[in-house]
Structure 1
């Protein structure tokens, strides 16, 4: 299982924006469709809220790819 880290720029990132920023979706529309279709897990649970707030410490999984969100560097 490959784990990628994505540093936050603020307190949170919306789930659809994270998928696009991490390269897991080629567009915002594709990211929203992936979430709506139940292909995305947050901390091991299927998440269907497209703009769910993802915070530091959470892990997002899509098709075997894992992204761990980390706090911004000070």
Structure 2
């Protein structure tokens, strides 16, 4: 599991997907979420604006598992 460090209280899921190099654009993030390929804390997530906080676990199909971490 790879840790992704954030410098704020939270990060939105679409921004996190770009930061973790799973997607390169917001449109790609939207498509990935619509496919059901993203789990947050083992629950399917489709909202691009979902706020992630340190400790959350994000699993992305064909990309990996990531933990949100505070810096």
TM-score (norm 2): 0.91
The match for 1:71 is 70
**TM-score after normalising by structure 1:** 0.88
Which residues of structure 1 form unaligned runs of 5+? none
In the comparison of the two structures, how many residue pairs are matched?
70
Contact 1:36 1:50 in 2 (8 A): no
> What's the C-alpha RMSD, in Å, of the aligned pairs?
1.0
Residue of structure 2 in register with 1:19 after alignment: 17
Q: Distance in 2 between matches of 1:25 and 1:13?
A: 15
- In the alignment, structure 2 segments of 5+ residues that lack a partner are none
Moved over 4 A (4+): none
